[in-house]
Amino acid sequence: SRNIYVLALESSADDTCAAVVSSNRKILSNVVAHQFQDQEKWGGIHPMISTECHQKRMPGTVRMALEESGMDMDSIDGIAFTRGPGMVSCLNVGANAAKTLAAALNKPIVGVHHMQAHALTPFLTSENPPQFPFLALLASGGHTMLLLATSPVSFKMLANTADVSIGNAFDRVSRELKIPWGEASGSARIGAGPMLEKIAAKHPTSNPYSFPELPLAMQGSLGFSFGGLVSSVQRLITKLGPAATEDSATQAAIAHAFQHAAVGQLQEKLMLALRSCERRGIAVKTVVASGGVASNMYLRSCVESTMKTLGIAVQYPPISLCTDNAAMIAWASMDRFLRGDVDPYDITVKPKWDL
CB of 122 to ligand KG4, least distance (A): 16
- By beta carbon distance, the residue nearest ligand KG4 is 193
CB of 193 to ligand KG4, least distance (A): 2
- Work out what residue 296 binds among ligand KG4, Zn ion, none; the CB cut-off runs from 5 to 8 Å by kind: ligand KG4
- Work out what residue 322 binds among Zn ion, ligand KG4, none; the CB cut-off runs from 5 to 8 Å by kind: ligand KG4
CB of 195 to ligand KG4, least distance (A): 8
- By beta carbon distance, the residue nearest Zn ion is 324
Nearer residue to Zn ion within complex by CB, 197 or 324: 324
CB of 166 to ligand KG4, least distance (A): 7
Nearer residue to ligand KG4 within complex by CB, 69 or 185: 185
Nearer residue to Zn ion within complex by CB, 77 or 163: 163
Judged by CB under 5 A, the stretch of 91-99, 230-238, 269-277, 317-325 that binds Zn ion is 317-325
- 324 is an interface residue for Zn ion by CB under 5 A: yes
Which residues are near ligand KG4 by CB under 6 A? Answer: 41, 140-142, 167-168, 170-171, 190-194, 197, 291-293, 295-296, 322-324
Nearer residue to Zn ion within complex by CB, 171 or 324: 324
Residues 6+ positions from 217 with CB-CB distance below 8 Å: none
CB of 308 to ligand KG4, least distance (A): 21
Mapping DSSP onto H, E and C, the string for the chain reads CCCCEEEEEECCCCCEEEEEEECCCCEEEEEEECCCCCCCCCCCCCHHHHHHHHHHHHHHHHHHHHHHHCCCHHHCCEEEEEEECCCHHHHHHHHHHHHHHHHHHCCCEEEEEHHHHHHHHHHHHCCCCCCCCEEEEEECCCCEEEEEEEECCEEEEEECECCCCHHHHHHHHHHHCCCCCHHHHCCHHHCCHHHHHHHHCCCCCCCCCCCCCCCHHHCCCCCECCHHHHHHHHHHHHHHCCHHHHCHHHHHHHHHHHHHHHHHHHHHHHHHHHHHHHHCCCCCCEEEEECHHHHCHHHHHHHHHHHHHCCCEEECCCHHHCCCCCHHHHHHHHHHHHHCCCECCCCCCCCCCCC
Q: Check: CB of residue 19 under 8 Å from CB of residue 42.
A: no
Q: Check: CB of residue 336 under 8 Å from CB of residue 109.
A: no
CB of 3 to ligand KG4, least distance (A): 29
Nearer residue to Zn ion within complex by CB, 232 or 296: 296
- 14 is an interface residue for Zn ion by CB under 5 A: no
Nearer residue to ligand KG4 within complex by CB, 29 or 259: 259
Nearer residue to ligand KG4 within complex by CB, 130 or 292: 292
CB of 15 to ligand KG4, least distance (A): 7
What is the x/- site pattern for Zn ion, positions 270-309, by CB under 5 A? ----------------------------------------
| Other residues' Cβ atoms within 10 Å of the Cβ of residue 60 | 13
CB of 142 to Zn ion, least distance (A): 5
Q: Which residues would be at the binding site for Zn ion (CB under 5 A)?
A: 324
